[in-house]
């Protein structure tokens, strides 16, 4: 494997996707996004094959049975998400670093599997009220979905100490700069350089 693995995890609505979109504009980071598979329906302007591979439950199960996932989780009841081996190979094989947006359990499983070739970054919301405001302002989810995601946030935040490092997404430009610095340190000097920061 040539490229390394950058894992971003956070409660829903914290800003992972927004941060990743900004990071992808920085060519010196040499990032390629791992497009996950999911059994949920597209949301807002999401595009199949760009944001996710949107699969039916049957198609998702077929990929599990065929051993095509590096990891997968039922993140919310009835909705599964997974990282495809083909995505890991596509990006890391090209020499780019693979950046992925996965839930806390998926993040720790990837970390266990790839060890010091992977850095696990937990993105922390400033507080729950801000998180709720972000989820509601995004305008892509039903009230019920937002409640379900908020209800899980504190549980997910409890995993933060198990990550290599934590970044608070209060100001977006500051958080993007901080994550970018950590990726540069990891890519150049390895995991020790990130854990000490
Ligand atoms: N620092 C910030 N300040 C204010 N708004 C922000 C900030 N970061 C992200 N947002 C906004 O918060 C909303 C949620 O962000 P985003 O969709 O990136 O979250 P996410 O963590 O990827 O969520 P999910 O896990 O549900 O995909 C978006 O509307 C985004 O524009
Ligand atoms: N374990 C995995 N979790 C994943 C993957 N792709 C996304 N996710 C996580 O799911 C939730 C919800 O995402 P949303 O797009 O429906 O808001 C979020 O925590 C993502 O990080 C994956 O491949 N594996």
Task: Find the helix or strand (DSSP H, E) in which 137 lies.
Answer: helix 128-138
**8 bridge partner residues:** 101, 121
Closest-approaching ligand to the CA atom of 75:
2
Ligand 2 contact via 40 beta carbon (within 6 Å): yes
* Nearest residue to 104 via CA among 88, 81, 127, 131: 81
Site to substitute for ligand 1 among 134, 146, 152, 170, most atoms within 8 A of C-beta: 134
CATH architecture designation of domain 1-30+96-197? 3-Layer(aba) Sandwich (3.40)
Alpha helix (H) residue ranges in 15-66: 16-23, 57-65
Ligand 2 contact via 53 beta carbon (within 6 Å): no
**Contact present, 170 and 178 (Cβ < 8 Å):** no
d(CA 180, CA 22): 10
Minimum CA distance residue for ligand 2 atom 24: 82
d(CA 106, CA 97): 18
Each residue's pLDDT, cut to its tens digit, for the chain (197 residues) gives: 578 999 999 999 999 999 999 999 999 999 999 999 999 999 989 999 999 999 999 999 999 999 999 999 999 989 999 999 999 999 998 989 999 999 999 999 999 999 999 999 999 999 999 999 999 999 999 999 999 999 999 999 999 999 999 999 999 999 999 999 999 999 999 999 998 55
For the chain, the domains span 1-30+96-197, 34-94
CATH architecture designation of domain 34-94? 2-Layer Sandwich (3.30)
């Amino acid at each position: 494997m040539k490229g390394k693995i950058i894992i971003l995890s956070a409660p829903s609505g914290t800003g992972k996707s927004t941060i990743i979109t900004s990071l992808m504009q920085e060519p010196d980071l040499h990032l390629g996004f791992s497009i996950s598979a999911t059994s949920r329906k597209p949301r807002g302007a999401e595009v199949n094959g760009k944001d996710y591979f949107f699969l039916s439950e049957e198609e998702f199960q077929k990929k599990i049975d065929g051993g095509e996932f590096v990891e997968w989780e039922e993140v919310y009841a009835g909705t599964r998400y997974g990282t495809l081996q083909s995505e890991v190979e596509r990006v890391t094989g090209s020499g780019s670093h693979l950046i992925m947006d996965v839930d806390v359990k998926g993040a720790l499983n990837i970390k266990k599997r790839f060890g010091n070739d992977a850095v696990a970054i937990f993105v922390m919301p400033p507080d729950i009220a801000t998180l709720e405001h972000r989820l509601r302002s995004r305008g892509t989810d039903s009230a019920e979905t937002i409640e379900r995601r908020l209800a899980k946030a504190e549980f997910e935040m409890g995993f933060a100490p198990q990550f290599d490092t934590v970044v608070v997404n209060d100001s977006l430009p500051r958080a993007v700069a901080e994550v970018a610095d950590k990726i540069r340190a990891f890519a150049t000097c390895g995991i020790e350089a990130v854990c000490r920061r």
